Chain A
Amino acid sequence: MDTSRPEPQLSALYQELILDHYRRPRNKGTLEGATHSVALNNPLCGDEIDLQLRLEGDVIKDVRFIGRGCSISQAAASMMTQVVKQRRLADALALADRMSAMMHGDEAAARDRTLGDLRALAGVAKFPVRVKCAMLPWNALKDAVKS
């Protein structure tokens, strides 16, 4: 057996799109005039996210994040900001559920185009300990709007 190449599961986990979001995160920075914000961390591995939202009515007009951590958590944050921006809050929260379903192996969710780039994270489902990394920004979103 060839031991020099990464296994297919690993290549599926670390897709180029994920590394691209990790290295060139979208919507990273501080949001002027944020109406909602929350800081969350994953004490086990030290992933951190500080998520800021500007809601107008029930629409997420703008979103930014500051964070550091593994490629999965940071790429997931970057991808999430893309899909929730300009979306109604209720729809964004429904996407959080779709994301969670995808993380638990739901293949229909993994084909849902509304998840955008996030579909590249479907491979995380094969690595149960990393699911919390991918869900960190979504948990931050839910926490931020809870109040």
Chain B
Amino acid sequence: MLDAARIRTDFPLLRQQENKHRIVYLDNAATTQKPQAVLDALANYYRTTNANVHRGAYDLAIRATEAYEAARSRVARFVNAWAPEGVVFTRGTTEAINLVAGSYGRANVRAGDTVVVTAMDHHSNLVPWQILCQEKGATIRMVEITEDGRLDLSDFGRALERRPKLVAFPYVSNALGTINPAAQLARLAHAAGAVVLVDGAQSTPHLRVDVQALDCDFYALSGHKMLGPMGSGALVAKPALLDAMPPYHGGGEMISRVWDDHSTYNQLPHKFEAGTPNVEGAVGLAAAIDYLEGIGLDRIAEHEVALAGAAIEQLSRIEGVTVYGPRDHRAGVVSFTYGDIHPHDIATILDQDGVCIRAGHHCTQPLMRRLNVAATARASFYVYNDRDDVTALTTALAKAGALFGYVPA
């Protein structure tokens, strides 16, 4: 286990109280808190380095550009990208997926084609494909899940028989915590002739990612879920694919020469980065990566698995509690319900003890339908959580049980 109490001292927000209790922040699948090192990187960028990138001829602008491009290389090394120019900075996973749908998808998906997604995809890896398929007259094929919340591999195989143009899936489910066999899925999809997009929003923060080993084609990630700033993120892609794709947004920076009625476009990755980018976000994301690698991704994964295991073990002992998702090969996301207590009521009750969890459909309405629930309560762990937080969760949950008559008050 990590020394979470020591790590917490690096996070100013976690020193404050919620409802007169020590804050127990268990909504890390939604967003994470930021260490002082990231806050300093953001402030220092504006104090010492701020200028517009890729255009100034003066030293300050050159330093800003260097900081931005160094952040790109940092992200590239972190996920073992094919090349730094295969890292396109975006506002996050959602924009990265929309970029692929709007550029690669629009250029390559035609009427009658199939795009494969899964029943555990976040809306951000579903709705962009729905929009694309509706525009093109193509079809969405959703791969089913098994009883224990894994991807149904035989149904995945059946979906591939349609020779889909593109296959999209999450590496880690944000609602169930399932870790999908991403490399195996990518291999199967490639064998069926599809291009593969992996939603890495929940995997990048929590386990060591090597996109070349996964051998996907596109990989999307969000900075704010891995201690970085909101509005930071990236699309990591094979440069040859990006090179062949039409631009996504038009504007400054993405062009080479502009005529009255047409333009030529900049080289990678700038072709996909129209307008002044979020340099502060990129710099902050690089600082977050430094912080995470200082701890070690393998140790982080091990820590979260231990906490999720403890949470599942303790929750399962409470009569009336149902825990969703697989019991092993999973990440630190634990979804549950408690009798007929609505998750929203659970979240209100837990909040009174300073325990912050998510209640709702987790942007996975098709998944909720399959689980036969309108919503779940979700606790998700990160580097600054420890076993005391698991205990705080179950202690507060006992109060919910008492209020709703499940256990004596």
Give min CB distance, A49 to chain B, whole Å.
Answer: 13
State which of B218-226, B307-315, B396-404 sits at the interface with chain A. Answer: B396-404
A5 is contacted by which of B343, B348, B375, B402 (Cβ under 8 Å)? B402
B399–A130 CB distance below 8 A = no
B345–A70 CB distance below 8 A = yes
Which A residues touch B345, using CB under 8 A? 14, 70-72
B404 is contacted by which of A4, A7, A14, A44 (Cβ under 8 Å)? A14
Decide if the interface of chain B is mainly helix, strand, loop or mixed: mixed
A127–B348 CB distance below 8 A = yes
In the bound complex, CA of A48 to CA of B360 (Å) = 13
Decide if the interface of chain A is mainly helix, strand, loop or mixed: mixed
B395–A6 CB distance below 8 A = no
Given known contacts A3-B353, A13-B348, A14-B345, is B402 in contact with A46 (CB within 8 Å)?
A: no
B348–A68 CB distance below 8 A = no
B360–A46 CB distance below 8 A = yes
Which A residues touch B342, using CB under 8 A? 69-71
Given known contacts A4-B395, A69-B344, is B403 in contact with A46 (CB within 8 Å)?
A: no
Which A residues touch B359, using CB under 8 A? 45
Mask for B371-409, Cβ within 8 A of A = 1, else 0? Answer: 000110000000000000000000100110011110001
Output the nearest chain B residue to A48 by Cβ-Cβ distance.
B374
Q: Is A121 an interface residue (CB 8 A)?
A: no
Interface residues on A, range: 20 to 34
Output the nearest chain B residue to A14 by Cβ-Cβ distance.
B403
Which A residues touch B403, using CB under 8 A? 6, 10-11, 14, 19
B405–A19 CB distance below 8 A = yes
Q: List 27 A-B contacts (CB under 8 A).
A: A3-B353, A3-B395, A4-B399, A6-B352, A6-B399, A6-B402, A6-B403, A6-B409, A10-B348, A10-B352, A10-B399, A14-B345, A14-B349, A19-B403, A19-B404, A19-B405, A44-B360, A45-B360, A45-B375, A46-B374, A69-B342, A70-B344, A71-B342, A127-B348, A129-B348, A130-B344, A130-B348
Residues of B that sit less than 8 Å from A by CB: 340-345, 348-349, 352-353, 359-361, 374-375, 395, 398-399, 402-405, 409
Closest 5 CB pairs of A and B: A70-B342, A70-B344, A14-B403, A6-B399, A45-B344
